[in-house]
Amino acid sequence: MAANPFSLEGKTALVTGGNVGLGQAIAIALAQAGANIASTSRRPADETGAQVRSLGRKFLSIEADLSSTQPVTAIVEQTINELGDLDILVNNAGIIRRADSVDFTEADWDAVIDTNLKSVFFLAQAAGRHMIAKGQGKIINIASMLSFQGGIRVPSYTASKSGLAGLTRLLANEWAAKGVNVNAIAPGYMATDNTTQLRDDVKRNAEILSRIPAGRWGDASDIGGAAVFLASHASDYVHGAILPVDGGWLAR
């Protein structure tokens, strides 16, 4: 093993949804560890790019809408063509829709499943083919507390993140012997755009904070260390794990 098993020097990472929130924090953490970064998002990732380049790393911004699988192959090909390789994939891009289950629409179901689960699988497939061919790679899926729990008023989100936990294990079973590590990070309640409604609801905010042993909402930067670990040689014998970064939520 390398002198620094957490070093990502010479590696290339593709982070979906890398323009804001958790994706941006993960991209910057991987760059700090030495990786060059490709980021997909619906809008230009100028801020992320500036921070990554300030660390002396290469940065590629790919504008893509992962509500369909249409751009998947091109994303992987562009990353390899412009940055030279693809060693790490972080499937971070995701959306959420909230409504009582009795009122939940088919459109909101399909939108979330397509982005959070279908596109994730086919992006992992495209990256996996490249990684298997060279005998090594790291795939990190961004799961959720709702990969373990039911939640309320987010049926398609819960279904997608529960499915993603299963998919992480399945791909690990198939690809571990081929040199590809597939794992997931399950963020706890993080202060991101996805949780704005919860944090603005005084009652729900208080209920959530009272359940978190750490006593605070997570910050996007709290995810970075876990991502570096799962992207590096330090996790070479870790397969099919779902690592909670939750302030102790699941331990309560």
Look at residue 1 and tell me if it is in a domain: no
Q: What CA–CA distance (Å, rounded) separates 244 from 41?
A: 25
Query: What pLDDT is recorded for position 28?
Result: 98
List strands edge to edge, sheet with 88-91. Answer: 59-63, 36-41, 12-16, 88-91, 137-142, 180-187, 242-245
* Percent of the chain's residues with pLDDT above 70: 99
Give residue for tokens 């571990």: 176
207 Cβ contact list (under 8 Å, min separation 6): none
Tell me if 51 is assigned to some domain: yes
Nearest to 133 by CA among 86, 166, 197: 86
Confidence of residue 195 (pLDDT cuts 50, 70, 90): confident
| CB of 15 closer than 8 Å to CB of 26 | yes
| pLDDT, mean of residues 28-55 | 97
Element (H, E) at 174: helix 155-175
> What values do phi and psi take at 12, rounded to 5?
-120, 130
Q: What is the per-residue pLDDT for 2?
A: 66
CA separation for the pair 108, 96 (Å, rounded): 9
Kindly state the average pLDDT of the residues 81-101: 97
* Residue 5 domain flag: no
234 has pLDDT over 90 = yes
pLDDT, residue 174, reads 98
- Give the pLDDT score at 3: 86
pLDDT at res. 60: 98
Gap between the Cα atoms of 124 and 76, Å rounded: 10
CATH number of domain containing 107: 3.40.50.720
> Pairing state of beta strands 180-187 and 59-63?
unpaired
Looking at residue 237, its pLDDT comes to 98
Tell me the pLDDT tens digit for each residue of 150-180.
999 999 999 999 999 999 999 999 999 999 9
Q: Quick check: is 32 in a domain?
A: yes
- Report whether pLDDT(120) > 90: yes
Domain carrying residue 202: 12-251
Judge whether 4 lies within some domain. Answer: no
Active site annotation includes 157: yes
Which residue in 157, 175, 217, 249 is the catalytic one?
Answer: 157
Q: Would residue 2 count as lying in a domain?
A: no
pLDDT digit string (tens) for 196-220? Answer: 888 999 999 999 999 999 999 999 9
User: Tokens 């990969």 — which residue?
Assistant: 147
Strands, E assignment, the chain: 12-16, 36-41, 59-63, 88-91, 137-142, 180-187, 242-245
Tokens 């940065």 label which residue?
59
pLDDT band at 1 (very low <50, low <70, confident <90, very high): low
pLDDT digits (tens, 9 = 90+) for 139-158: 999 999 999 999 999 999 99
Q: What pLDDT shows up at residue 51?
A: 98
Which amino acid is residue 42, in one-letter code?
Answer: R
Under 8 Å CB-to-CB from 236, ≥6 apart: which residues? 1, 181
Indicate whether 138 pLDDT > 80: yes
What average pLDDT does the structure give for the chain? 97
Is residue 185's pLDDT more than 90? Answer: yes
Q: Quick check: is 7 in a domain?
A: no
Q: How many domains does the chain have?
A: 1
Report if residue 171 sits inside a domain.
yes
